[in-house]
Each structure stands twice: as structure tokens, then as C-alpha cells.
Structure 1
Amino acid sequence: MKIQSIINAIESATDPNHRIPSTTIDQLIIGDSDQDAHGIVTSFMATVDVINAAIRLGANFIITHEPTWFDGHDRESLMQDDPVYQAKRELIAKHNLVIYRFHDHMHFGGAHDMIVAGVAKELGWSDYLLPGDPAGKNVLERAETRFMLPKTTLAEVLNTVRTRLKLGGVRYIGDVSQPVENVAALIGGATLGLGDEYNPIKQIRDQRIDLVISGDIEEWTVPAYIRDANRLGHPCAMLVIGHERSEESGMKWLPEWLADKFNLKAQWLDAGDPFERVLFETTNNSKSLRSN
């Protein structure tokens, strides 16, 4: 099957009502899409490690969620004289690879956010995912961001998320014994507000959120609000796991969707958390959580 035919098919399937604007960041990043697909891999990001793994597998089509060229819009014009960009581009071209970015369609095209659905599966929380509210005044209320869990504690959620998402470490705000039920999964860049820094705070307040699970953060917005809320008698918690770990699960489950929808065989490659972690002695701001 031609790679371009696959791209056309998945875009049509994920956006049947043509909700995605022409300014979408979903695009053919590099390569000749008129060639047949000899192997498909999916990943959060087409890093050099992912590219080399695809080459070893004999795959020539990479479906990535995030940028290849270190910029939110994959603007190659910004990188023309950069040696890292040049070497990466040469590697891709040498092996005749095709890279396609599949972002907006996964999040916004269909009835469900495919990235959130993948995260829910990975955490074992699919039955607790609430639909978005089409009438919501806040963009985050209209999206699928919320889980209503059976009553638990922050410690139990921390251990679940740490184990199932294979986290090397976590940052959190809150008392590990505090109750958790109403969870806002503001994964990826959602905690930044999707155009308005105040959006997550409005959601936390209006929906009485117990816990925010976050990808990217700005420390002066949601983390500052939640820390002050706890000091002032309005308990809330926050778990920061990073952009990659918070969205990779969506790409992990994409091969299953491709198989079910189009009978296409694909393999997921874990892009991996970009950071290594060093353990320090316990301080007031560095605690260790043990599994029950």
C-alpha cells in the first residue's frame, strides 16, 4: 500500500467531519510518500534513536506525534545551517524513510482524543474516563481530560502512574495521604492552557479537581496555584510526569487502531524520556515513595 494512501486514510478516519483546519501541523515531514510502505512504526517523536531502530527493523514509514525538526511547526527554514539538523536529515534521506506527523487529528479530529484514550488504557483507567462537555465554557472542559476514579489516595495514584508509565521519577505537590477521586489529566501541553494560562486554574476550581496529572508546566501558573491552595485550606495535588511520558502511550496503542481499522501491521517504538535522573539524599523537597 502506498504511504500517501495510508496518510489519506487515517486522516479521513480521524476527521470525517473535516474539523481540522488547513493550518494543521499534521504533515508529511520528509520523504517520498508515493512509495510502498515496507514497514510502519509509531512513536511519540522521531528521534535519532527511533530512526535507527526503524532502519534496523526494515521499516520505511514513521508516524510521529511531535516534531522532527525541534520546532512546534517543523519549520526547516530555521535550521538550515545547523549541523545536527543536517546530519539527521541526511540519515533519514540515506535510508529513504518517510516521516509523517500525526498530531492534531489524534487529539481533535474524531469523537475521542486518541492520545488520552491510549493513556487511559495504559493506566487501566478506560472505564473512568469522562466525556468532554460540549457546552463547557472552558476549552479544557470541552476536551476529554477528566477521570472519576474509585476513591483512592495520592500515594496509590503515584505508584500506579509511576509503574505503568515506567517513570524514572516523579515531581508532585500535595500530601500523599490525601484522597483522590476527580482527576484532570492535562497531558502534553494542556497544563499550559491551550492559549490561555488561566484555563487550567478555572477547570481546577470549577470542576473541583483533586489531582492534576501534567505533562509540561509553567511553574508560576498551575503549580503555584495548587501549592497556595493547599496552604489556604483548599486541598489539591499535582503530578508532573513530562510531555513525552504523558503522551507516549497514545502512540503505543496506535498500532492496534491501525490493525483494527485498516488491517495494517505497525510496531510502536518508545522514544523514551529525554532526561536521565540522579538520586539525591532525601530533603524537604525530595522524598521517596515506596510501593505498598
Structure 2
Amino acid sequence: MKIANVIDNLIQYERGEIDVKEFEGLEITGKLTKLRHVTDRDKILYGQKHLNDECTGVVTTCWPSVAVVEKTHEIGANLIICHEAMFWNHGDHTNWLKENHNETFAKKKELLDQYKIVVRRDHDHLHSGIPASESPDGWADGIFYGYAQELGWTKFMKNFNGIPFYFDFPVGTTARSISHHLVTKLNLNGCRIEGSPDTPVRKAIIPFHNLGNANETINLINKEKIDCILTMEMIDFTLAEYIRDSNMLGLNKTIVQIGHFNTEEAGMRYMEKWLPRAIKSSEIPVKFVQSGDMYHFIAES
């Protein structure tokens, strides 16, 4: 099967419709809109000239780091399906890197050329939904549903599409126990906690991106009596300050944070399980390759 056909089959398997209110750079209409084959995010990031090559294997990953590219070649695959950008900017523009003779860009490009690897980003389509029998409408956000599947948390899920993503945990769950579970199941180096590690957790959310202004998230936490925020980003001001003050006042609030890529990569790990069905081939090898924990932790003993 040609690489182009593999990509086409994947796109046809995914829901491919979004509420454009949730995506920057698109007109706000408030109704489901069909995604194009190519979006600002979802497109061939590299290797356009090799789309008609026979697919020798597919690697799923969050971010196509140099190590992931090397591993892809090592196992004999020539297609990477990633969730995030490859060249360190929104839209994966490369002219600015070429114009400034960026050394890292040149060396990474050389590797991809040498190995004849195609890189396709699957972001909007994957978030738009994959088939999920448990979901009321038959679809679930491919990243966060995969996150719940990999952690064994689907029984705690309260919604299947979009974020905030809700979990109702059983009595006895704490920030510490959630952290240990995340680190162990997702093969991470560590975890950050805001507030007491022993904070009891019943209601948890994965919120929208925490990039500074957290007014809406704080209002939601207060209104819904959320105990734990499973943040992708940790910003020292606004949300983290609010959670710390709340915890000090005995209001049972905590943040458990493993990082943006570490959180969403669980969905790409889960993709390894359903991708053969999506691409209509059990003969093309499919393998998840972890981008690698972005953080190392040094703590006083």
C-alpha cells in the first residue's frame, strides 16, 4: 500500500468534523464543520516526494524528535504519524529556518532525506473523533479517549469529546496515587504536584491549555467543585497560585502535571492498537515510539 493511501484511509476513519469555536484561526460558526484534508496543523510535514513509495511501516508518536526519526529508520518504517509540529513553530513553517541557516533544522532535514521518511501530522482530525462504542454519539476525542484507555480510566470518564475532560475517581484516590499511576503507566521520569500530595481527589479535569489567563478555568473549578486539575502546562502565576491558596485554606484543590506532550502522547500510544483497522491493513507494521519524557527531575533526598 502506498504511503498516500495509508494517510487517506486514516483520514476517512476519523470523524473529520469539528466545532470551529474550539480551533484558533477559523471562523466561529458554532456548528460542526467538515475538516479539509489539509489544515493549518494536519498536513505532510516532510517527505512529500515519497508519498507514492510503498509503506514499509508506520510509527505513531507525539512529537517526531530526532530520536524518533532514528528509531523509525531502525525498525524499517517510513511513515511517522505525529500529533505535534516537527519544526518548533505553529504551522511548521520552515522558511525562517532556511533563511537563518539554522544548524539544527539542516541536520534534522538531512536525516529525514537520508531515510526517505514521510511525516504526517494528525491533530485536528484526531481530536475530532475516532469510533468509540461507549460514547453516546459513537465518537470520542482520539487523544483524550486514548489517554483514558492507556491509564485504565475509561470507567471514570464523564464525557468523550473535547476539553475540559472530566473524571470521577473512587474514594481513596489522592494526588499522590494519581501521580504514581501516571509515571508508571506512561513511562515518565516524574510528576509535579501543586498543593498537598495527599489531597483527596474525587472530581478531576483536563482543562484547556493553561497559557496564563486562567479566569474561565478558575470559575469552572469553583462552580463544579473540582478537586484536581490534570494540567498539560504549569504556569507559576494565575492557576497555580489559585490552587496553592485554595489548598492552604483547606479547600481540597490540587494540580497534577506531567507536561503537554507527556499527556497527549498517551493518545498516540493508544493509536497503535486501532491504526491497522483504520488503514485497512494488518500487514503493514505499526509501532508506537515514545518521544521521551521532556523532563528530568533532580530532588533533594
Supply the AA of the counterpart residue of 2:176: A
1:202 Cα deviation after fit = 2.6
Moved over 4 A (4+): none
2-11 vs 272-281, greater mean Cα deviation: 272-281
- The partner residue of 1:154 within 164, 175, 185 is 175
Measured at CA, do residues 257 and 99 of structure 1 come closer, stay the same or move farther in structure 2, by a change above 3 Å?
Answer: same
Structure 2: distance between partners of 1:10 and 1:199: 35
Aligned length in residues:
269
TM-score by length of 1: 0.85
The one-letter code of the counterpart of 1:269 is V
* Match of residue 37 from structure 1: 55
Please state how far the C-alpha of 1:212 moved relative to its aligned partner.
0.7
Aligned residue number for residue 271 of structure 1: 291
Q: Give the CA deviation at 1:48.
A: 0.7
Tell me how far 1:41 sits from its aligned partner.
0.7
Give secondary structure in 1 for the equivalent of 2:230: strand
Letter in 2 for 1:37: C
Matched, 1:180 2:198: no
Matched, 1:191 2:206: no
Q: Secondary structure at the match of 2:140?
A: coil
Q: 1:77-102 CA deviation, whole Å, 9 max, x = no partner?
A: 12112011011001101111100011
Structure 2 counterpart of 1:222, from 239, 243, 246: 239
Provide the C-alpha distance between the structure 2 equivalents of 1:16 and 1:239, rounded to a whole number of angstroms. Answer: 31
* Aligned partners of 1:40 and 1:63 also within 8 Å: yes
1:204 — aligned with what?
A: 221
Maintained 8 Å contact 1:28/1:99 = yes
Contact in 1 for aligned 2:228/2:256 (Cα 8 Å)? yes
User: Could you say which residue in structure 2 is the equivalent of 1:19?
Assistant: 34
Identity of counterpart residues, as a percentage? 28
* Worse overlay, 100-109 or 62-71: 100-109
CA distance in 2, matches of 1:126, 1:109: 16
Q: List runs of 5+ in structure 2 lacking aligned partners.
A: 18-32, 131-138
| Aligned residues: CA RMSD | 2.1
Partner of 1:143: 163
Alpha-carbon distance in 1 for matches of 2:87, 2:140 = 28
Match of 2:124 among 104, 122, 129: 104
- Where do 5+ consecutive residues of structure 1 fail to align? 134-141, 282-292
CA offset at residue 24 of structure 1? Answer: 3.3
Taking structure 1 as reference, are residues 98 and 23 closer, same or farther at Cα in structure 2, changes over 3 Å only?
closer
| Residue among 86, 89, 93 paired with 1:68 | 86
Q: In the alignment, is residue 250 of structure 1 matched against residue 278 of structure 2? A: no
